[in-house]
């Protein structure tokens, strides 16, 4: 089983999501992925059909700040099919964070479809740290909307952005 011929030199992984906004759970997955894969492209989904709190530019900017300490991580955005984006960026792998059970089947459905239409792109799942197991962007927005404290859920600069968004107009 000698030489590993044909094994790619640097594996590029895409880590896609809405990141509306990035949470500490997302940061955790990005950090893990950056240790395992040579290059990680964090890909912000631009989905016009879904109401977002932050624009794609705001989300990208918050991600850049939150992940600036990871040298092999880039931020990009996409609309359309994820596998098309992955191919355009030379990625062989899609990374997804699995929190808890509720993610499981949707993620499997996506991975199954992406395998069929993606021509050899593999999906790998990484497990969110326990303390973020029940954390989601939606929950964070719900808490922030009513003035609750979101420290510990998101990076501090994101907490400030959330407070600005929900600050009552005068």
- Determine which one of 26, 32, 96, 141 is catalytic: 26
Q: Are 86 and 38 in contact (CB under 8 A)?
A: no
> Site residues for a second copy, window 49-78 (CB under 8 A)?
68, 70-74
Name residues whose C-beta falls within 8 Å of residue 51's C-beta, 6 or more positions apart in sequence. none
Q: Find the binder of a second copy among 89, 143, 157, 165 (CB under 8 A).
A: 143
Does 137 bind a second copy (CB under 8 A)? Our answer is no
Closest C-alpha to 112, from 125, 99, 129? 125
Binding window for a second copy (CB under 8 A); candidates: 14-22, 55-63, 143-151, 156-164: 143-151
Binding window for a second copy (CB under 8 A); candidates: 16-24, 50-58, 97-105, 160-168: 97-105
Q: Find the binder of a second copy among 55, 57, 131, 156 (CB under 8 A).
A: 131
Instruction: Give me the numbers of helices (H) and strands (E) for the chain, helices first please.
Output: 6, 5
**Active-site residue 157, yes or no?**
no
**Active-site residue 99, yes or no?**
yes
Q: Are 43 and 85 in contact (CB under 8 A)?
A: yes
| Chain centre distance of CA 52 | 15
**Active-site residue 59, yes or no?**
no
**Active-site residue 137, yes or no?**
yes
Q: Are 66 and 22 in contact (CB under 8 A)?
A: yes
> Any idea which residues carry the catalytic annotation?
26, 50, 99, 137
């Amino acid at each position: 089983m000698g030489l590993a011929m044909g094994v790619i030199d640097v594996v590029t992984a895409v880590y896609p999501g809405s990141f509306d906004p990035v949470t500490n759970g997302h940061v955790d997955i990005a950090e893990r992925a950056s240790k395992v894969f040579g290059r990680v492209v964090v890909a912000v989904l631009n989905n016009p059909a879904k109401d977002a709190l932050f624009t794609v530019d705001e989300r990208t900017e918050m991600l850049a700040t939150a992940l600036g300490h990871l040298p092999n991580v880039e931020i990009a955005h996409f609309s359309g099919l994820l596998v098309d984006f992955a191919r355009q960026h030379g990625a062989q792998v899609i990374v997804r964070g699995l929190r808890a059970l509720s993610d499981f089947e949707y993620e499997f459905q996506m991975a199954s479809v992406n395998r069929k239409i993606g021509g050899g792109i593999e999906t790998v799942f990484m497990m969110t740290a326990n303390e973020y197991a029940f954390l989601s962007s939606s929950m964070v927005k719900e808490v922030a909307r009513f003035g609750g404290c979101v420290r510990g859920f998101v990076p501090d600069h994101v907490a400030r952005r959330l407070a600005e968004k929900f600050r009552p107009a005068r």
